[in-house]
Structure 1
């Protein structure tokens, strides 16, 4: 599973942050990683120009599943790490649900 991390100009994309984000994604998706070819993580600070408001960090994750359409989730939080954690949890649940539906459809066709 390949992990690509993108940040806007308001978030510093240094190596330590990228390594931490990658480890969160790998850990959260470890059970379904066999079905994922790539995960794209997009991090942005939506209120950087306003300097107020608590929930301004946005983490969007998109997973590309083998042989299927990509799935994506978004999570907002007050800081980078909770935003990444929340998005990773949502993505894991979405992939579990998607793979479950695909299994059910396959078993009904047989």
Structure 2
């Protein structure tokens, strides 16, 4: 599974932050890792340099083997909260999608 980072011009995307967020995302989707080929992370500040609430946005676009890409996003006051919220949404979506796949693959008795 590959995790690719993209940030807008207002968010510094240094290596330390990327490593932290990569670890956070990888840990969050660990049980689904065998089904995921790539996750693209898009971090942005919706207000640019202006102040505001819930302006940090994290979009996670996930490529699942043999399926259409899945995208979830979360807006929060900090980048950390936005990433954490997006990971929670992604995990819930993967549980639903992959749970359906596994239920359909079970043999009938």
TM range, normalised to the smaller chain? Answer: over 0.9
Match of 2:40 in 1: 40
Match of 2:27 in 1: 27
- TM-score (structure 2 length as normaliser): 0.93
Match of 1:82 in 2: 81
SS at match of 1:76: strand
SS at match of 1:73: strand
**Following TM superposition, by how much is the alpha carbon of 1:108 offset from its aligned partner in structure 2, in angstroms?**
8.0
**Following TM superposition, by how much is the alpha carbon of 1:54 offset from its aligned partner in structure 2, in angstroms?**
1.3
Match of 2:14 in 1: 14
**Following TM superposition, by how much is the alpha carbon of 1:25 offset from its aligned partner in structure 2, in angstroms?**
0.5
- For the aligned residue pairs, the C-alpha RMSD in angstroms reads 1.6
**Following TM superposition, by how much is the alpha carbon of 1:90 offset from its aligned partner in structure 2, in angstroms?**
0.6
- TM-score (structure 1 length as normaliser): 0.92
**Following TM superposition, by how much is the alpha carbon of 1:103 offset from its aligned partner in structure 2, in angstroms?**
2.3
Q: Deviations over 1:29-84 (max 9, x none)?
A: 001111100000000000124x2211100000011011111111000000010100
The 3 A distance-change label for structure 1 pair 106 and 8 is same
